Structure 1
Amino acid sequence: MPDFLLDPDVIFLNHGSFGACPRAVFDEYVRWQRELERQPVRFLQRELPPLLADARQLVGEYLGARSHEIVFVPNPTFAANTIARSLALGPGDEVLLTDHEYGACQFAFDFAAKQKGFRVVQQPITLPVESNEAIVEQFWQGVTPNTKLIFISQITSPTALTLPVAQICQRARDAGILTMVDGAHAPGQIDVNLTEIGADFYTATCHKWMCAPKGSGIFYVREDRQAMIDPLIVGWGWGPNKTFHRENEFIEHHEWLGTYDPAAYLAVPAAIAWQREQVTPEVRQRSQDLVRQAVELASQIEGIERVHPDEFFRQMGLIDVTARCTDTDALKSRLHDEFRIEIPVIRWQDRVFIRVSAHAYTKRKDIEALVQAIQVI
């Protein structure tokens, strides 16, 4: 089994929240921190720009994009704020989301809407879903002549649902609507090709399923859309006398946020190398099978139900405990305190889900322990 730094006394079935970093990748992260501290001025002013360029090149190859269309950001929430505050949206305009989106990213648009006067519209996607075509058609019912931006997850956080983002982006392009895809849960869990997805904007974490250090994410802006996006943080990279020489103005404006620790970004290539070596298709399939087993076994308990057909989830799955749970905090606490299981309990709409995640370190006995704990509770 790959060497992770996880507490062996805890059954960790919550990779989807913050990920987990393998020892080899974490060691690379610490190595870059030490390099920074050896000679901070030399490292930050002279060595860092080409190092970031090399890292972006590898990320672009991994995600099917050109490196000059990608900048590193701390997380997708940062990117969502950048988009929400940059786009020329105003009264009468609408931003369309599903009702499955990650709360922090939706809040970024809610906040900007109060300032600019546009509307944030949530289009329901009912569960269980039947087909990709049905998802697209139901989502498209929310589109109006006022829709200027579609913001949608590739794999949803609260409901672990894989959405047909390429089909939605294509239909939006045909209609002249901008698209932003939240891919926080996608890279590392499924193969991602940004060129094929066709979104105008895409953001993802590297610290979740790619298993890079915390605080590493990417923000992709298609080249012909880059002039639309202002930097969220204005610093030296924006001014007339730029300190660093980069490939283009987009990177210059967005990647230099003042003094910061770039070690998490520079360790992303090590995470990609680790993924390619350790997370083979067989490992992904095994993790997916473990999640399916958890869902199937739990659904045999009276009052517990499954949510999605198997083809709509990957290494995260949902166990519907709505009929048996009235207090989500109490359930999560019991699972952790009594059974040493770290797993989220999520309230979505009027339903309660246990979201189970599996990765290379997950064992069959971990799944059995979860099901037994649910049975007891």
Structure 2
Amino acid sequence: MREQFLLDKNITFLNHGSFGACPKPIFEEYQRFQLELENEPVNFIQKKLPIYLKEAKVPLAKYIGCDVDDFFFTPNPTFAINTVMRSLKLQAGDEILSTNHEYGAMDRTWNFYCKKTGAKYIRQEISLPIVSKEQIIEEFWKGYNKNTKVVFLNQISSSTALIFPVKEICDKAQQLGLITIIDGAHVPGHIDLNIEDLNPDFYTGTLHKWMLAPKGSSFLYVKKEFQADIDPLVVSWGYESLFPSHSQFLDYHEYQGTQDVSQYLCTPRVIEFLEQNNWQQVSSNCKKMVLDNYQRFCDLVGTKPICPISEEFLGQMASIPVNTEKPMELKELLYSKYHIQVPVMPLNGNVYIRYSINGYNSQEDLDVLYDALNDIIASTDLIKV
């Protein structure tokens, strides 16, 4: 499978979770659209693009479980959440209930919004180690009070790689009359997703991570009852359009003037590639490899798993707690000396080495990481066991 990807063969690549990796057939489709754009830019943008976008969205709607008119493409989830954030009408003292496991860019987005509006961003502590789904739910709702207006939650956390019980939290939030915003950046192509079943008000996910699309391909789903309230992040030709479509929501957000959106148009080829290569089985094999190695790595560095070692909490990546005071130096050493691309990430006073496994990885890749960490423990003071 590694031959299908463009990754540098001299690097042990264990960081699919950050930006994904694109297979050659999908990348070739990406370049084909770019070439078509450059051959006749005006005809492509003005006439072909609306048709191509619809053709790209139809299979994706089926894949993620929602109506084709209820989402639009965005470059990344941060763009999507900024779009939602700037359209909320929260007052001073209103609260956004979140967790202390959210992605750093999202924390910054909400902190920016709160400085502008006087709202409060509550990073409710979800303590580690996780012992059960019920523990997460109970601890999360301890942050709720009469001022809570919005629930914002990642479905799979970035630094800790944990799967959160989003369905249960969304159900209760709906009962309480709260707005629900879900960051599913790591979800599509990674674990099963049916947005209509989850029933959030807003949901964003990427295609360029676990679905293997070219970089800069994500989406924002908006429940129908909220679509009229969401302003475009950039006002352009779709606003008060001279030639409106059946959906003002899509007009406002899909037509942004001159930009290369070839990565979005590859979506049918992306889904086709996953189906042709039986990616559900590939993903299942990867998840097994993640679980089989987690305790082994924790034993090596002298720490304990942060959750039960099961598919209820872990997918195709896992975060190993590591005792180090120099996370950036450790990451750089792993790359420069051992040629391993793997993130070393601080969060809430702890540090984690997060390994990601996809179809191009093998047990040998994890053994390379294991041997490197063993050598670092023996020869440096970067890791305290």
Q: Does 1:354 align with 2:385?
A: no
For residues 16-45 of structure 1, what are the alpha-carbon distances to aligned partners after superposition, in whole Å with 9 as ceiling and x for unaligned? 000000001000000000111111111100
Maintained 8 Å contact 2:170/2:199: yes
TM-score after normalising by structure 1: 0.97
Counting only pairs closer than 5 Å after superposition, residues 1-377 of structure 1 correspond to structure 2 as 1=1, 3-242=4-243, 245-301=244-300, 303-311=302-310, 312-322=313-323, 325-377=324-376
For residues 48-84 of structure 1, what are the alpha-carbon distances to aligned partners after superposition, in whole Å with 9 as ceiling and x for unaligned? 1011012111111000000000100000000111111
Maintained 8 Å contact 2:182/2:203: yes
Maintained 8 Å contact 2:77/2:183: yes
Instruction: Work out the number of aligned pairs and report it.
Output: 373
SS in 2 for 1:333: helix
Output the CA distance in 2 between the equivalents of 1:100 and 1:246: 40
For residues 275-294 of structure 1, what are the alpha-carbon distances to aligned partners after superposition, in whole Å with 9 as ceiling and x for unaligned? 12224332112111222233
TM-score after normalising by structure 2: 0.95
Output the CA distance in 1 between the equivalents of 2:301 and 2:146: 47
Maintained 8 Å contact 2:101/2:157: yes
Shift of 1:241: 2.0
Q: Which runs of 5+ in 1 are unaligned?
A: none
| Percent of residue pairs identical | 42
Output the CA distance in 2 between the equivalents of 1:106 and 1:176: 23
- Residues 277 and 115 of structure 1, relative CA distance in 2, 3 Å threshold: same
For residues 80-135 of structure 1, what are the alpha-carbon distances to aligned partners after superposition, in whole Å with 9 as ceiling and x for unaligned? 11111101011121111110001111211111111111111110111111221221
For residues 299-318 of structure 1, what are the alpha-carbon distances to aligned partners after superposition, in whole Å with 9 as ceiling and x for unaligned? 22252432221221110101
Moved more, 334-343 or 128-137: 128-137
Maintained 8 Å contact 2:13/2:341: yes
Maintained 8 Å contact 1:92/1:146: yes
Shift of 1:296: 2.2
Output the CA distance in 2 between the equivalents of 1:43 and 1:302: 54
Residue identity in the other structure for 1:236 = W
Moved more, 202-211 or 285-294: 285-294
Across the aligned residues of Structure 1 and Structure 2, the Cα RMSD in angstroms comes to 1.2
- Residues 333 and 174 of structure 1, relative CA distance in 2, 3 Å threshold: same
Shift of 1:254: 0.8
Output the CA distance in 1 between the equivalents of 2:351 and 2:301: 15
SS in 2 for 1:301: helix
For residues 214-273 of structure 1, what are the alpha-carbon distances to aligned partners after superposition, in whole Å with 9 as ceiling and x for unaligned? 01100000111112211110001003424xx53301110011222100100001221111
Moved more, 150-159 or 246-255: 246-255
- Residues 205 and 302 of structure 1, relative CA distance in 2, 3 Å threshold: closer
Residue identity in the other structure for 2:203 = Y
Moved more, 6-15 or 290-299: 290-299
Residue identity in the other structure for 1:286 = N
Output the CA distance in 1 between the equivalents of 2:125 and 2:147: 18
- Residues 14 and 279 of structure 1, relative CA distance in 2, 3 Å threshold: farther
For residues 111-163 of structure 1, what are the alpha-carbon distances to aligned partners after superposition, in whole Å with 9 as ceiling and x for unaligned? 11111111111101111112212211110111111111111001001110100
Output the CA distance in 1 between the equivalents of 2:105 and 2:39: 37
Moved more, 286-295 or 51-60: 286-295
